[in-house]
Chain A
Amino acid sequence: MELNILTVCYLLASVSFIFGLKLLSNPATARRGNSIAAAGMALAIFGTIFLYRDENGNSLHNYGWIFGGLVIGSIIGIFAAKKVKMTAMPEMVSLFNGMGGACAALISIVEFNHLVHGFKEAAYASDGFSFFSNVDKTTLLIILLGLIIGSVSFSGSMIAWGKLNGRIKDFNFKGQHIINNLLIILIFGLAAFILIASPEETVLYFYAIVALSVIYGISFVMPIGGADMPVVISLLNSFTGVAAACGGFLYDNKVMLTGGILVGAAGTLLTILMCKAMNRSLLNVLIGSFGGSANGSAGAAQQGGGAYKEISLSDTAMVMAYANRIMIVPGYGLAVAQAQHVCHELEKTLEAKGVEVKYAIHPVAGRMPGHMNVLLAEADVSYDKLLEMEQANDELKTTDVVLVLGANDVVNPAAKTDPGSPIFGMPILEVEEAKTVIVNKRSMKPGYAGIENQLFFQPKTSMLFGDAKKVLQDLLAEVRNL
């Protein structure tokens, strides 16, 4: 009876996941989708706790431990998720993803110990070995898969988290890809050996796989540029999905399987969509053909740029206050400086003076696709002021002043004009179509692509150096004084 109810719970949960994802991909229904999936998850969790029966009809025990873990996890999870700043959302997602990966890996470790233990007991009976070789090899394979994928996802997510909050810097050296490939071969070699050998002898190798997978996760994410982290997190996200699905096979559990594979497939597609928005291939992101070499070329490129002109704050304020139409192009710099609120203030002040202000949002502006929209929405910027790229490019032709806030590669004309440029072909915001361009940056350093931006040296472009928030605050004061 209980098992039948549990089956229904799992079925409802599986449907809620699919339905939730479906609603999540539409702005109007996204929030409801999230709640539906969450409700399904709660049903699956509590169903499992109270209704689960093993092959012999025994229910679960250790309720104290289970509820203790649930309560502790919930308190930390809610606290962390509520407290985190809007700008730090992506790294929070990465952190939670890593937790899921670690969870999958831990399950594999416990189940492996069970298997070895079971084997030792069965070995006392005469037919111990044949029992093992017939039934448990595939179980072992799934345990190993869950372990490897879960561990890689865990350590990779931790590195991605560290990179996004600036604790870990990009690090790469020659031959890193060869070492990574060797690591993979070693991991799968060991896994194959464990599958062939008798499990008693392989315990040590099993833990070697744990260690190697963790190391691989680190060395896999380490060389990828910080601005490419969203793609990496999305990829690791789908990895964790697959690791969860391994658990589904292990326990013959349909809801784990559905949820896991669903996320694995959707996550992979999402990763590809994100790459497409940047007009790059996944391989290009992972190998980091230009993201990785940024450090090396930055110094050299800086000198060959030519002359640029600076503009003072009061001049900027003057130009903006007497313009008819202004387009603001927010980027990474705005997010880092958390300048979205003061940006909105400036917009309101300018509007009060009769200036039309709009925002041009490049699909990959900021740290994640959609990041700028979320940030500006947090600051109460109204929805119809945010223009998508095509729309913005149309309006840019009739715009008087473009204010670029900490964006670089997404406005680099080289993407259109220079076939030799690594970003050639990426769709950009054509800000050079406007009458005047004012670029706020902290310095002349190139963006993450590590390439020079000719826009900065054009006659209609002026540079306004400084931290985005500080500059906007001062600019706001200047505009108000006019």
Chain B
Amino acid sequence: MENFLHWIAGHQQMIYIVILMIFVGIEVIGHVPSVLHTPLMSGANAIHGVVIIGAIIVMGKAEPGNWAAIILGFIAVVLGTLNVVGGFVVTDRMLEMFKKKKKA
């Protein structure tokens, strides 16, 4: 219990961020029209690709001889990049359609 309180005190900034972000996340997309549900989901999908940063740190910290960490880290970087790059490109392609529609 004491550990837990200690941890909360040590991470209070992070905990504030979590709570505020929950509200921001809900507020920001609150009025999305149903037409945009799919592209928005796809865009959000690309954003959680920030997990790639963790993968880069893992990879960059791996000791030269530690093959398990290197290989797992490498796979993580590849998968994370797929998530980010693929996610943003797919979203852009979807939204391209919407733009065309405006002009017509």
Is A82 interfacial (CB-CB < 8 Å)? yes
Instruction: From the candidates A89, A110, A253, name the one contacting B42 in the complex (CB within 8 A).
Output: A89
Interface contact A248-B14, CB-CB below 8 Å = yes
Give the interface of B toward A (CB within 8 A).
Answer: 3-4, 6-7, 11, 14, 17-18, 21-26, 28-62, 64, 68-70, 72-102, 104
Proximity bits, A71-89, B CB within 8 Å = 1, else 0? 0111011101110101001
Interface contact A240-B48, CB-CB below 8 Å = yes
**Chain B residues in 8 Å Cβ range of A109:** 72
In the complex, chain A residues 257-308 whose Cβ is within 8 Å of any chain B Cβ:
257-267, 269-270, 273-274, 277
Interface contact B43-A24, CB-CB below 8 Å = yes
**Chain A residues in 8 Å Cβ range of B17:** 254, 257-258, 261
Q: A102-B79, A263-B25 are in contact. Are A31 and B56 (CB under 8 A)?
A: no
In the complex, chain A residues 96-110 whose Cβ is within 8 Å of any chain B Cβ:
96-97, 99-100, 102-104, 106-107, 109-110
Interface contact B81-A237, CB-CB below 8 Å = no
**Chain B residues in 8 Å Cβ range of A61:** 60-61, 64
Interface contact B93-A69, CB-CB below 8 Å = no
Q: A31-B95, A110-B73 are in contact. Are A100 and B48 (CB under 8 A)?
A: yes
**Chain B residues in 8 Å Cβ range of A363:** 34
Would you list the 8 A-B pairs with minimal beta carbon distance, nearest first?
A73-B81, A60-B60, A265-B25, A69-B77, A77-B86, A77-B85, A247-B54, A259-B50
User: Could you tell me the distance between the alpha carbons of A41 and B49 in the complex, rounded to whole angstroms?
Assistant: 8
Interface contact A96-B21, CB-CB below 8 Å = no
Interface contact B76-A106, CB-CB below 8 Å = yes
- The smallest beta-carbon distance between A134 and chain B, in angstroms, is 6
Q: Taking CB as reference atom, which chain B residue is nearest A157?
A: B45
Q: State the total of A-B contacts with C-beta under 8 angstroms.
A: 391
**Chain B residues in 8 Å Cβ range of A110:** 58, 62, 68-69, 72-73, 76
User: Which of A348-356, A370-378, A394-402, A459-467 forms contacts with chain B?
Assistant: A370-378
User: Could you tell me the distance between the alpha carbons of A217 and B59 in the complex, rounded to whole angstroms?
Assistant: 27
Give how many A residues have a beta carbon under 8 Å from the other chain's beta carbons.
118
Interface contact A70-B54, CB-CB below 8 Å = no
Interface contact A263-B47, CB-CB below 8 Å = yes
Interface contact B88-A273, CB-CB below 8 Å = no
Is A176 interfacial (CB-CB < 8 Å)? no
Most chain A beta carbons < 10 A, residue from B3, B58, B86, B102: B86
**Chain B residues in 8 Å Cβ range of A266:** 25-26, 28-29, 40, 44
User: Could you tell me the distance between the alpha carbons of A109 and B80 in the complex, rounded to whole angstroms?
Assistant: 15
Interface contact B50-A244, CB-CB below 8 Å = yes
Most chain B beta carbons < 10 A, residue from A20, A63, A277, A374: A374
